[in-house]
Amino acid sequence: MARRVAAIDCGTNSIRLLVADVEDDGVLVDVHREMRVVRLGEGVDATGRISSGALDRTWAALSDYTAILRASGAVRVRMAATSASRDADNRQDFVDMVRGVLGQEPEVITGVEEASLTFLGAVGGLAPDPGPFLVADIGGGSTELVVGSTTSTGDPEVHGRISLDIGCVRLTERILRSDPPPQQEISAATEWATELLSGGLDQLPLDGLRRLVPVSGTATTVAAAALHLPTYDPARIHLSRIPAGDVHRVATTLLHSTRAHRAALGYMHPGRVDVIGAGSLVLSVLVSEVERRTGIDEATVSEHDILDGIALSLG
């Protein structure tokens, strides 16, 4: 018998809700899926604290989400909070706010836990290919890399994972501040991204890797651009295979575009306009580093990620 659950993923840039029925065979059936950009991590990299404005924006979104999940009849709820709430000196203010609205505390998960849940959510649609896969989640404050495969019963098996302190918000606030960024900023950002991603990949077991599977908003937005979609279309994006050359082309275009130009793109979420250049740069560097090590010259972009993993963990 299916069990209705609710998953909330609160990251550095966005907060997302998934209400879903978990079937007996572990398949998720969406009931309600929603994303809002609240920029919880705005300024955290510089100040070490979550701002009052960011807390207010998150409170407003979470209040609406709580009403939705309670009306849905969800029997289990899990909220995971990631990079910004791990890094902030005043994270207890965030925890207290969530407890007051949702009635339970968020799980401020580690980067390792984040990577495991991301892999769990991402690989379901890749059957019957058992992998191994490299799943990459480029968030606002961190990037999670996890290598794993699926067993004969379809269960995920993680072989290695790492969380790196680089993401689209952190990189924008630290280096890519101009609109558009000059080559000096782009070069500095590329150097930093290459250093962190190369070091991270060196710590992962990449022998025999079959696919690179990037997930979440940066990857899906780059896929929408590479596919020349007039508007955002999850069905077209999910499991699309984007050649490395197209990833690099899109990243170059987005980095050299003004924010006004990005905002006019039909597939662009308004909350990603100012940070998608940084996110696409991280993805482009990752694709290059993976190709150099494994020969894999494309990215299989998944619409399913940590949010689906959180929901599946409640089944």
Tell me the whole-structure pTM to 2 decimals.
0.85
pLDDT band of 109, cuts 50, 70, 90:
confident
More confident of the two residues 144 and 57: 57
Domains annotated for the chain, with CATH where assigned, are: 3-109 (3.30.420.40), 124-301 (3.30.420.150)
Assign 3-state DSSP to the chain and report helix, strand, coil percentages, each to 5: 45, 25, 30
Per-residue CA distances from 111 to 50, 86, 164, 244, 286 (Å): 19, 9, 8, 27, 18
**Contact 176/186 with Cβ under 8 angstroms?**
yes
Residues 35-82: tens digit of each pLDDT:
998 999 888 888 999 999 999 999 999 999 999 999 999 999 999 997
**Contact 23/47 with Cβ under 8 angstroms?**
no
Q: Which single residue is written with the structure tokens 């995920």?
A: 156
Indicate if the pLDDT at residue 97 is higher than 90: yes
